[in-house]
Structure 1
Amino acid sequence: MEQFKRNFNSHLEASVCKHLVNVYTTLSMSIVLCILGTYIQVSREIVTPQIGALFVLVSLFGFMCVSSTKQMFGIRLSMLLACSFWFGVSLSPVIRMVLLFNDPTIITTALTGTALIFIGFSICSILSPSGKWLFLGAPLSTYLLSVTLLRLFMGGNFALEMYIGLGVFCAYILYDTQLIIERKRTGDGDVLSHSLMLFLDFVNAFIKLLRILKDKDNKKKKKSN
């Protein structure tokens, strides 16, 4: 750990280090609120998933419309945390399906696995040479656009796409982490927007990993039957 701290501090400027600490602190709060939203919705069902998704859009729209000034920081933080909570609520149908038809430990495994993946790729990105992973932006965006169009015209969710999708969001962790560092160096210190970027990477990686584990569990049950 001491060696890692020395490498971390020597690789990044003090202002960037402080910014990343604030970003990851806010990200942790968002993940906790997301988990809480899922837990409350699964246990009590406070609203329909569609209403939850609508609240996500409303919170996100409000977050994007409010200016990123110090005076508005508290309001934007509240909107970000509200967006995270309702995001968790909107994920409840997927979690409920796993609880009903699969091994419930899959959820814990997926969450733990996603956390380890996120930490590993984040450290790799932070300690990599400046700008090394920024070239990933264009191909990743092209892939997501292509997959979206294919789903619109062909539908379905292929097994191979889940594995590729997990790899894509792992690559996004590399890309977004370095993008945040470079933006901070150029004067963009918007902690909340940067936290939102990483939050979406975390959630998408979790969903992909959960579906992979769910698919494996279904295949195992079919073989046993």
Structure 2
Amino acid sequence: MNFLDRNIDFNVLLKFSHISPSTQQHLKRVYASFALCMLLAAAGATVNVMFHFLQDSFITFIGSVGMILWLMGTPHSHDNEGKRLKILSGFAFFTGIGLGPALNLCIEVNPSIIPTALLGTAVIFTCFSLSALYAQRRSFLFLGGILISGLSLLLLSSLANLLLGSVVLFKIHMYIGLVIMCGFVLFDTQLIIEKAEHGDKDYIWHCVDLFLDFITIFRKIMVILAMNEKEKKKNKK
């Protein structure tokens, strides 16, 4: 039998029979908001890299935290939807600005690190998101406790490394942190589905979870690539 003669329905790949139609519509809003956040974060990062108008990471951190607290304090309702989208946009823009110093460091080491890290993050995020969407419902929710425990251990190790100053421990921290964040993409995606199935349609807040996952993975990949590039340059000398 000639494989090329077979009729392949690629629309089947876009069907999620285990997810209700209302939740599928909710996911469309979540990912549309996510796309908006990515554009605004890219705009914030680009402006900061080009004009260096706000290099104080503490100020951008305060701005991001202020926006997220404002969003938390604004109830989810139809009347507040436009306001909450604006707050979300401000949060994404501040987050992008906060990437400025890390981006500048990568540019100094090797500018190609940034597009490589962005592409790698996009591939990782897409693959793990699709895995969560196609998998049986609630199949990855058990990861929640494991991931939180892993983050706690990483926090303790990072505090310990402030005293030790070990480069090896820092590298291990970055690689394990990357694996944990990949797990969070699986967990958060399925958690969003479950919340939506049970009536929680706050797509703006659900977008925040995925956006933070993406940004954290992007940061870690940038740092890992930058470290590897520095080691290569040292070995060549």
Alignment counterpart, residue 40 of structure 1, candidates 47, 70, 77? 47
Q: 1:61, CA displacement in angstroms? A: 1.0
Q: 1:3, CA displacement in angstroms? A: 2.6
Alignment counterpart, residue 218 of structure 1, candidates 230, 234, 237? 230
Task: Name the amino acid aligned to 1:3.
Answer: V
Q: 1:145, CA displacement in angstroms? A: 1.6
Residue 64 of structure 2 corresponds to residue 64 of structure 1: no
Q: TM-score, normalised by structure 1?
A: 0.95
Show structure 2 runs of 5+ residues with no match: 1-9
Alignment counterpart, residue 189 of structure 1, candidates 188, 191, 201? 201
Q: 1:152, CA displacement in angstroms? A: 2.4
Percent identity of equivalent pairs? 33
For residues 173 and 156 of structure 2, what CA distance do their matches in structure 1 show? 14
Q: How many residues align?
A: 222
Alignment counterpart, residue 169 of structure 1, candidates 170, 174, 181? 181
Q: Map 1:77-88 onto structure 2 (within 5 A).
A: 77-88=85-96
Equivalent residue number for residue 17 of structure 1:
24
Q: 1:46, CA displacement in angstroms? A: 2.4
SS at match of 1:66: coil
Q: State which structure, 1 or 2, has the greater radius of gyration over its C-alpha atoms.
A: 2
SS at match of 2:142: helix
Equivalent residue number for residue 2 of structure 1:
11
The superposition leaves residues 184-219 of structure 1 with CA deviations (integer Å, 9 ceiling, x where unpaired) of 011101000100000000001111111111111111
SS at match of 2:199: coil
Alignment counterpart, residue 120 of structure 1, candidates 123, 127, 134? 127
The superposition leaves residues 15-58 of structure 1 with CA deviations (integer Å, 9 ceiling, x where unpaired) of 11111111001001101111110110111122233222211111
Alignment counterpart, residue 115 of structure 2, candidates 83, 108, 123? 108
Task: Name the amino acid aligned to 1:2.
Answer: N
SS at match of 1:11: coil
For residues 151 and 77 of structure 1, what CA distance do their matches in structure 2 show? 34
Equivalent residue number for residue 158 of structure 1:
170
Task: Name the amino acid aligned to 1:96.
Answer: N
Q: 1:153, CA displacement in angstroms? A: 3.6
Show structure 1 runs of 5+ residues with no match: none
Please tell me the root mean square deviation across aligned C-alpha atoms, in Å: 1.2
